[in-house]
Structure 1
Amino acid sequence: MKIMIEVLGDDCGDELHDLREWLRDDADLRGSSLLSLPRPPADGEMNGGVPAALEATIMNKELVVALAGSIGGWLTARAASRRTRIRVRRGEVEVEIDTTKLRDAEKIARTIQEQLNGVD
């Protein structure tokens, strides 16, 4: 299954890069793959270059739990110093998290996994 992850308001792609590194270092996510998807080029540009989203290929629903937990940890670590908004999508199901409203890693993880695991 493919899960798309976007960091909203990340025009330079720096936050998405940080998230990718965080997820890559998570031992619980071994067996999944992460691919950065670039933004399409703007008028007059040769290529977009800036990452727009991450595409995680997850082999089973248990890895969705690990992915949700890792995203929750990343968001919680950032919440003390800055607002971060992400959108996580699997098929037609989408969940958006804003750290001004939800800051607890466990609640973030539970919200993401409940939404995404409800899709078949």
Structure 2
Amino acid sequence: MVDTQSELTLHTSGGADDLFDLHEWLNDDRALRGRVTLVETPIREGEMGGVTDCLLILTSAGTVGALAKSLSTWLTVRSSHIKVTVTRGDEEIAVEGKGVEAGNDVEKLLRPLIDRPTDPR
């Protein structure tokens, strides 16, 4: 069985601090370490630096469970409301809320997005 990788893009409704926090959280997970990258928008004329826009996550069948569990736990321990949007190709899912209410359904929501076959380009 071939373990193909899939790219997911993850955005948060919070500021850059939330994205940095989530990046650190996911990279602390041994199964995800090295698979999560901060993505910056290109610097435009008149700007002093790029803006961290999203996280790029390389997942495989072996890491999707770790991603769902880690993201669920991160959402559960948060005390402020946040929306996290996960995109793969032209499909996306969003989880919104705070604490346990946001963390409960992460794996159920992520599974169809991950299980969809990749385009063989």
TM-score (norm 1): 0.79
Q: 2:47 aligns with which of 26, 45, 56?
A: 45
Residue deviations 1:31-80, cap 9 Å, x none?
A: x52111113435521432x311000112x2231221121111111111xx
1:22 to 25, 29, 32: 25
The aligned amino acid for 1:27 is: R
State the alpha-carbon separation in 2 of the partners of residues 104 and 87 from structure 1.
Answer: 12
In 2, Cα distance between the equivalents of 1:25 and 1:65? 15
Conserved 8 A contact 1:89-1:116: no
Percent of pairs identical after alignment? 29
Larger helix percent: 1
Q: Which runs of 5+ in 2 are unaligned?
A: 1-5
1:56 has 2:57 as partner: yes
Aligned positions of 1:1-120 closer than 5 A: 1-10=6-15, 13-30=16-33, 33-41=35-43, 44-48=46-50, 50-58=51-59, 60-78=60-78, 81-99=79-97, 103=101, 105-120=103-118
Q: List alignment gaps of at least 5 residues for structure 1.
A: none
Once residues 86 and 21 of structure 2 are traced to their aligned partners in structure 1, the CA distance between those partners, rounded to angstroms, is 16
How big is the alpha-carbon RMSD for the aligned residues of Structure 1 and Structure 2?
Answer: 2.1
Q: Distance in 1 between matches of 2:8 and 2:102?
A: 22
Runs of 4+ residues over 6 Å off in structure 1: none
With the length of structure 2 as denominator, give the TM-score of the two structures: 0.79
